[in-house]
Amino acid sequence: MNNCRKHICIFEHNTLKLNEKYNDVIFDENLLSALQNYHGDKGVPYFNLINRGVKFNEYVGVIQIGKTIIEVLPKADKNTKNDYDRWKNILIKMLLKVGLFKKELTGTSSLKIKRNSILDLYFELFIKEAEEILRRGLIKKYRKKEENLFALKGKINISKNISKNFIHQERFFVNHTVYDYEHNIHEIIYKTILLLRDFNFNPSLSYRIEALFLKFPKMPDIKVNDEIFTRIVFNRKNHFYKTIIGISRLLLLHYHPDVNRGSNHVLSLMFNMNILWEKFVLISLRKYPEFTIVAQETKEFWESTKNKRRLRPDIVLSYKHKTYVLDTKWKSIEHTHVSNEDLKQMYVYFDYYNANKVALLYPSDEFVTYSGKYIENNKYQNSFNSSKECGAIFIAVDSNIVNWQSNICKAVISWINDAPMVIR
């Protein structure tokens, strides 16, 4: 298969406008129409439809339309430079750290990040899992089968035997049990292989996908929905299928066929950047052994016969028998422009979580020294308790993911201890 796909790179919250050029690719009527059909009446959270174009939201990842890749990348600074490779690397490393990529994959795939998309990495992970399963050996299962045979096998289905074999009495319409490879796990894997054959345009993966197609037993076509995955029960015998079924679920449930033209099929792999940033900060803070962390501890603050309202901060941590609340915000703001709604929300956390301090944690394009980490007038104006303060912690995005995680911990510790932050 030729590497003939087109590639558009764009940052979150940016727009694609009809007939404009992006990375030497024109966003034409076919691409816009495909995204409009994908959005539909119910909508998808990844983007909004605008006049003669689309505007992306806080989701990042890949949308592939036929042979065109639209890669949406995160960006936490206001630098106008389109440093796509840097942000693609950062995104993939964040996905790896929160567990959305296997560590074994980075040994080979990280070398191809610059010329491949995130979708390619998931394709490669699926291929590696499928190759390992074939090497290990596919499992068989018992299943019920009905068919018209020349030999009696199993139990005769009397009603169907009369209707189908009234003339051909040398045949028997029977129900019997077979022990073979045809079961729902293999049907899902085979359907994913077919999906990869249609959507892959990476020459380095094409041969391996074709080899899988030839080696894997042919399976009947199935209609894929969420229910078919929930019915799968993993046990000691089939547990090694768990990873590949998870990848298949991710790919198959985000496949949107083009029923009108048949050429602009859509496959999306998108991640909410706010959730990804929250998980990344949480995992980073867990590296510090003195923190006891609770992720998203929910408390009710309003109850009625018809409705309940709940509070759920991103991170509640305990340090030296004191409680601290953090809310992560993936957005680029000026250090003094924290939103009014965010400040009010953090104020409520003081009472409901008996917090000693609360803070909002933002990504930044630079490190902010301790004296500048707090917003101006950082103490809440409260005549009963003037000690309540809300910190705004800004952490520079670092391409070195280990340093980045370390600096998140250092910043939070310095905020807790009212001490200068030391960056090495």
Question: Rounded distance, CA 243 to CA 248, Å?
Answer: 9
Angle at 334 between CA 390 and CA 296, to 5 degrees: 45
CA distances (Å), origin 268, targets 46, 88, 102, 399: 9, 16, 20, 25
Q: Is 156 exposed, middle or buried (0-12, 13-18, 19+ CB in 10 A)?
A: middle
Same domain assignment for residues 119 and 220: yes
In a domain, 166, yes or no: yes
Half-sphere exposure (Cβ direction) of 18: Cα atoms closer than 13 Å: 12
Same domain assignment for residues 261 and 333: no
In a domain, 114, yes or no: yes
Same domain assignment for residues 130 and 145: no
Phi, psi of 99, rounded to the nearest 5 degrees: 95, 15
* Higher-confidence position of 22 and 374: 22
Same domain assignment for residues 60 and 72: yes
Task: Tell me the whole-structure pTM to 2 decimals.
Answer: 0.82
What lies within 8 Å, CB to CB, of 220 at 6+ separation is 182, 187
Write down the pLDDT at residue 420.
59
Q: Is 314 exposed, middle or buried (0-12, 13-18, 19+ CB in 10 A)?
A: buried
* Higher-confidence position of 398 and 161: 398
Angle at 91 between CA 314 and CA 120, to 5 degrees: 130
Quick: pLDDT tens for 104-144.
443 344 434 444 678 888 899 899 999 999 999 999 888 88
Same domain assignment for residues 77 and 123: yes
Write down the mean pLDDT value for the chain: 82
Residue 359, beta-bridge partner list: 326, 391
In a domain, 383, yes or no: yes
Indicate whether 103 pLDDT > 50.
no
Q: DSSP assignment, residue 252?
A: H
Core vs surface per residue 277-307: b (16+ CB within 10 A) or e:
bbbbbbbbbbebeebebebeeeeeeeeeeee
Band (99; pLDDT cuts 50, 70, 90): confident
Angle at 274 between CA 268 and CA 278, to 5 degrees: 120
In a domain, 293, yes or no: yes
Indicate whether 321 pLDDT > 80.
yes
Same domain assignment for residues 201 and 156: no
Same domain assignment for residues 211 and 346: no
Q: Which of 156, 180, 204 is the last residue of a domain?
A: 180
Quick: pLDDT tens for 349-403.
888 888 888 888 989 876 554 433 433 335 565 545 556 777 888 888 888 999 9
In a domain, 41, yes or no: yes
Q: DSSP assignment, residue 140?
A: -
Question: Rounded distance, CA 233 to CA 141, Å?
Answer: 13
Rounded mean pLDDT, 153-176: 78
Question: Rounded distance, CA 15 to CA 424, Å?
Answer: 38
Q: Which of 273, 306, 326 is the last residue of a domain?
A: 273
Rounded mean pLDDT, 270-277: 94
Write down the pLDDT at residue 346.
85
Same domain assignment for residues 165 and 113: no
Same domain assignment for residues 31 and 90: yes
* Higher-confidence position of 151 and 317: 317
Q: What is the CATH number of the domain that holds 310?
A: 3.40.1350
Write down the pLDDT at residue 3.
53
* Higher-confidence position of 101 and 211: 211
Residue 53, both tokens: 């174009």
Same domain assignment for residues 354 and 205: no
Same domain assignment for residues 42 and 104: yes
Write down the pLDDT at residue 108.
40
- What is the layout of strands, in order, in the sheet containing 315-319? 292-295, 315-319, 322-328, 357-364, 390-396
Give the rounded percent of residues in the chain with a pLDDT score beyond 90.
Answer: 39
Band (20; pLDDT cuts 50, 70, 90): very high
In a domain, 280, yes or no: no
Q: Is 310 exposed, middle or buried (0-12, 13-18, 19+ CB in 10 A)?
A: exposed
Indicate whether 62 pLDDT > 80.
yes
Quick: pLDDT tens for 185-198.
999 999 999 999 98
In a domain, 423, yes or no: no
Same domain assignment for residues 363 and 405: yes
In a domain, 279, yes or no: no
Quick: pLDDT tens for 72-92.
999 887 665 678 888 988 998
Domain that holds residue 245: 6-137+184-273
Total domain count, the chain? 3
Quick: pLDDT tens for 324-346.
999 999 987 765 577 788 888 88
Q: Which of 245, 273, 301 is the last residue of a domain?
A: 273
Band (10; pLDDT cuts 50, 70, 90): very high
Maximum CA extent, the chain: 96
Write down the pLDDT at residue 383.
43
